[in-house]
Amino acid sequence: MAMNFFKEGHWSSPRKTIANRFADDDYGYVYHAGILFSEFLRASDISAGKARGMSLLDYGCGTGRVARFFSMIFGEVYGYDPVPECITESDAEGKRVEMFPRQPKLFTSNIQDITKKFDIIVSINVFEHLDAPRFGVALGNITNLLKNDAACYLWVHKIKNADFFAKHNLSLPESNVSIVKGTKKSGQLIFSESNILKK
């Protein structure tokens, strides 16, 4: 899924695009990622002990800043982002920010590089940037890469992604962005009202 629908130069500085106020602040950028990581921990019911035996894919990982937090507790972490500039920056960033004793196993911008299925997939603040066709492609990729009975956690914007809530018969949540849990059953992602989680 190429993201060529962004204006030219949009990804010339990935960190500036992702979190402009932290573009030149390594530790501010990491701290902000830690907040997103803590949102996942609060929303999920996965203990650190259980996570150690699980694999996780960060779908739309940007420069890998949250994936590095996931690598501290999950047994195997991959990061995928279709923007090559993000993956290039992730390599440089990993060398500059040395606070993580473990690193993700793979960062890639080529979905074909990912040949395994995962216990958990997260997609953080990605879907509000996708038009309807690309939204569908992303959901399809996530479904294909999940193991059966495995879960995904999607950060979904209630206004920008209103069609998603309508399509899955979900009420619009109160907060602008919600974490929505989907479970893969019989090859399909199933979403329910009870799985709209508070950040």
Domains of the chain: 15-197 (3.40.50.150)
Residue 95 has pLDDT above 90, yes or no: no
Alpha-carbon span 78 to 67, nearest angstrom:
7
Q: Which residue has the higher pLDDT, 69 or 4?
A: 69
Query: Which residues have a Cβ under 8 Å from the Cβ of 58 and sit 6 or more positions away?
Result: 64, 66, 67, 70, 77, 78, 79, 80, 104, 121, 122, 123, 124
Q: What average pLDDT is seen over the chain?
A: 86
Sign of the CA dihedral with 7 first, then 13, 18, and 20 last: negative
Three-state SS at 102: coil
How confident is the model at residue 69, as a pLDDT? 92
How confident is the model at residue 90, as a pLDDT? 79
From residue 150, give the alpha-carbon distance in Å to each of 30, 141, 153, 158, 188.
Answer: 28, 14, 10, 24, 11
Predicted structure pTM score: 0.88
Residue 45 has pLDDT above 90, yes or no: no
Kindly tell me the burial class for residue 41, based on how many C-beta atoms sit within 10 Å of its own C-beta (0-12, 13-18, 19 or more). Answer: middle
Pairing type for strands 188-197 and 76-80 reads unpaired
How confident is the model at residue 12, as a pLDDT? 62
Please give the structure tokens belonging to residue 154: 């999607």
Alpha-carbon span 100 to 50, nearest angstrom:
20
Instruction: Look at 50-59, 127-136, 184-193 and tell me which has the smallest mean pLDDT.
Output: 127-136
* pLDDT, tens only, 106-153: 889 999 999 999 999 999 999 998 888 999 999 999 999 999 999 999
* pLDDT, tens only, 56-92: 999 999 888 899 999 999 999 999 999 888 888 877 7
How confident is the model at residue 2, as a pLDDT? 39
